[in-house]
Amino acid sequence: MKYLNNLATVAILSAAVACSQKPTQEPVKEEVNLMIKAEKVAEHEGQPVFHYVLDNGNMQVEMSNYGGLISKIIVPDKNGKLENITLTLDSVPEYLTKSNPFFGATAGRVANRIAKGKFELEGKPYELAINNGENHLHGGLVGFNKKVWTPETYTNDSIVGVKMTYTSPDGEEGYPGTLTSTLWMELSLENTLRIRFEATTDQATIVNLTNHTYFNLGGIHRDVLDHEFQFWADAYTPVDAGLIPTGEVKDVTGTPFDFRTPKILGDQITANGGGFDHNMVQKLEKSSDMKHFVKVRHPESGRVMDMYSDNVGVQFYTANFLENFAGADGITYDKHWGFCLESQNWPDAINKPNFPSPILNPGEKYVHNIEYRFSVEK
């Protein structure tokens, strides 16, 4: 694998590879260009902020080292029409100044909610920043989504990507220990967006990193209620009025959370009396096995997204709190205009002894892999 630094303000890299198609009489070869474009677009706290475009000749992913951010995913529909399928702002510099609900961001040090921002670790109490009612959410007031990560671009014959690192000092947002995190985001020739997190610490701490992209496979023209979802999930974790898990792990059978056969989202939201903002259980115990967990179809456009993860849960969020938001291209985003599939440890796990532990100790490595695979069904 070849790594490249960002000494130049603008750099374009490409690799041509030959892909064999099914032969008729003689093999036909098609040239596919993998490309990275890296452009410095701003500075934040004295550090350069880059806008990246990853292109495999069929789809593009736009991202930034500010917030470990995915700003756009551009994929074709069944007629070959390319459209962005993520809720976003008009430019990367706008993320530096405009408040937004974690569009495309890396959430950490601990994604999701911690009840009242309090926990105990090795007998010592800790208090975190409160930024969601009386609770702590997605790392606090200045979480990983507002940090400039140190980037490197890389490429080989089958992928293009950006590697980013961020070191969170002891005490940041109230968390113990110096945490060094590394994030890889890469695009393959097979139209797969891969995300990998790794982290190490110098003292016991808690970690739960994820990506918070809002998807809309219809191309951001209206809400996502017509999308079809299938989850390979037998259970979910119910929540209280503050969206903190109660500690129960509940069977989905006979509930609106049962997506084990394909269901239209709007029908399930109606059955649930509102949107979803819940942890769907992927595994009961941690393991390195990648699991096909979610399939989403948009029948009108033909776009399909399959999600794979090695984590224990996925937060399924249907943009319940989005209202009259001025998004990109002059489009106003409203309730249910997007959905998030946040691969994660279960919320408030540090305060729930029966939940998988989020604790990371010195000498251990936190590892988390996610894949979003895009395709078209006609």
Residues annotated as catalytic are 212, 342
Handedness of CA 131, 208, 248, 351 (dihedral sign): negative
Residue environment code for 261-282, b if the CB has 16+ CB neighbours within 10 A, otherwise e: eebebeebbeeeeebbbbbbbb
What H or E segment, with its residue span, contains residue 71? strand 69-76
Listed in sequence order, the residues at least 6 apart from 283 whose beta carbon sits closer than 8 Å to its beta carbon are: 289, 291, 311, 312, 313, 356
CB 106 within 8 Å of CB 165? no
CB 279 within 8 Å of CB 315? yes
- Give the Cα separation of 277 and 296 in Å (integer): 17
Query: What would the DSSP string read from start to end of 282-340?
Result: S-SS--S--EEEEEEEETTTTEEEEEEESSSEEEEE--TT--SEE-GGGPEE-TTS-BE
- 209: its two tokens: 């990193």
Q: Count Cα neighbours of 103 within 13 Å in the Cβ-side half-sphere.
A: 29
CB 191 within 8 Å of CB 375? yes
- 60: its two tokens: 């593009």
CB 135 within 8 Å of CB 119? no
Candidates 51, 68, 49, 48; CA nearest to 60 is 51
CA distances from 229 to 251, 258, 306, 333, 366 (A): 18, 10, 10, 21, 29
